[in-house]
Chains A and B, each alone.
Chain A
Amino acid sequence: MKKKELGRFSDASYLILSSLSSGPKHGYAMMEDIRQFSGTQLEPGTLYGAISRLEKQGWIEPLPSEERRRPYRITTDGAAVLREQVATLEQVVSVAKNRLSALEGL
């Protein structure tokens, strides 16, 4: 995974990929969706910084514009990257849960 190339946009990128995994969305719709499911308010500069990187990586692709708004959709590569990231996060969550249980059992 080329996570390093995402730089400071790493978290925003995964939020965008998660948002687009439920279907194509334009910038504002993504921003609203991300705010609803994660509580994170992405600002336009950060959102488009991450979008340009994801597009460059080939993890999302633009669709034809609809009245000045351009929707994006996740690509097969993007879905694979998100799946990999989710698996990593699940592993982290699982380990953290076990360790917390052990800590509470002390």
Chain B
Amino acid sequence: MHWLLRLYPRIWRERYEEEMLAMLEDHKITPATVFDLLIGAVDAHLNYRRVEGGKSETANLVRSGILMIFWAFLLFGAGGCLLQRIADPMPIFQQEASTFPAIGFVFDAIVILGCMASVSFLAGGLLLIYMSVRRGVTGKQSDILKRFGIAIVCLILFAVTAVWGMRTPQPSLLNEFLMLFALLFIAVGTVAVSQMIARTEFILSELKWVFIPKIIISLSMIISLVLAIVFIIMIISHAPQLIFSQDMDRQMFSMTGVIFMALGTIFASLGLRRGGIDLAISP
């Protein structure tokens, strides 16, 4: 029964695991006991909280957990983009998908999950930025507002360089420079936003609003990763020409993509553990 108790949150186990194990040694284990322990584990994740440092420390843990998940999603997104290379050019991929419909189905599922996670990322991120800026304005915190200003400038510069880059004939040196600058601006902007959020002293009740996007993002990442692995296996067994073509980049991109997705998912799960469900929604 020890493995079942491992499903409970670490902090809960530190407090009750030993005495519960002692009790289980005397108790007759039935399927009802196993089911009850599973429900108990879910309940403990949702409701049990015991943090010594009080609410402000809890809020800090939740905030850093959220930031970890959001950064993990960026890494995951980069991996997802690399994986998409398999479907390029689309007509050839669609032709293979029509022969093996499961390939197309799994690919569509990954794309849909990615869209869901992106929308959640946007909603949760904008909410955090709004709360952070509001706190910066009311508390007259110049360091927060300064970083918000940097993020806005970077966003404008990104839009300008990206549009300019798209209008420039490809391939050209200018086009490549513009795209490089666009990526640089988005990276600097993201760092500025992260620093802004990291410096904001949120109240725990505010962070609860980001709970749903955080869960959607994490779940989407986990399911997408599993589907991506299934997708690669299906491609290798049914349509290997999509990966093992003369274009060596395909193999590298698809494998690197899955590795990035896996790393992103691991970081997100660490973020969930750090500022977990139990911390985020407990009273």
Interface residues of A (CB under 8 A from B): 5, 7, 26-28, 31, 43-49, 51-53, 65, 67-70
Q: What secondary structure prevails in chain A residues at the interface with B?
A: helix
Q: Give the residues in chain B near A5, CB-CB below 8 Å.
A: 283
Which chain B residues border A69 with CB–CB below 8 Å?
A: 19, 22-23
Instruction: Give residues in B with beta carbon < 8 Å to A.
Output: 12, 15-16, 18-24, 26-27, 32-33, 36-41, 43-44, 47-48, 283
Which applies to chain B's interface (DSSP): helix, strand, loop or mixed? helix
Q: Nearest-CB distance from B166 to chain A (Å)?
A: 54
Residues of A close to B22: CB separation below 8 A = 26-28, 67-69
Q: Are A52 and B23 in contact (CB under 8 A)?
A: no
List, in ascending order, chain B residues with CB within 8 A of A65's CB. Answer: 18-19
Knowing A28-B27, A31-B27, A52-B12, the reply to whether A45 touches B19 (Cβ < 8 A) is no
- B residues in contact with A45, CB < 8 Å: 33, 36-41, 43
The listed residue with most A CB atoms (<10 A of its CB), out of B19, B38, B44, is B19
A52 x B48 contact (CB < 8 A): yes
In the complex, which residue of chain A has the Cβ closest to the Cβ of B19?
A: A70
Closest B residue to A32 by CB, please name it.
Answer: B26
A41 nearest in chain B by CB position: B32
Are A44 and B19 within 8 A (Cβ)? Answer: no
Cβ-neighbour of A48 out of B20, B26, B33, B38 (below 8 A) = B20
Instruction: Closest A residue to B40 by CB, please name it.
Output: A45
Residues in A whose Cβ lies below 8 Å from that of B37: 43-45
Given contacts A45-B41, A49-B43, A49-B44, contact A27 B36 (CB under 8 A): no
What's the least CB distance linking B259 to chain A, in Å? Answer: 38
B19 contacts across to A, CB distance below 8 A: 26-27, 65, 68-70
Q: How far is the CA of A89 from the CA of B37 in the complex (A)?
A: 30
- Least CB distance from B42 to A in Å reads 9
Residue numbers in B under 8 Å from A51 (CB-CB)? 16
Which chain B residues border A28 with CB–CB below 8 Å? 22-23, 26-27
B18 and A43 contact, CB distance less than 8 A: no
